[in-house]
Amino acid sequence: MAVADVLAAVDRHTQSRQCGILGEKVVNVLELNLDLDGRGR
């Protein structure tokens, strides 16, 4: 799997901040792992 594919998957599963300004961006690791697991086959 190419690095670009992994980075694109991380971007797809990154959730933005609340109200656009509060908190940090968060990666939904469960969804990311499921997505990467499905692509690796």
Number of domains in the chain: 1
40 pLDDT more than 60: no
16, 28, 29 from 37: Cα distances, Å: 23, 14, 12
pTM: 0.75
CB 12 within 8 A of CB 35: yes
- State the pLDDT at residue 7: 96
- State the pLDDT at residue 24: 87
Domain holding 19, by residue range, is: 3-39
What is the tens place of the pLDDT at every residue in 1-39?
899 999 999 999 999 877 767 788 899 999 999 999 987
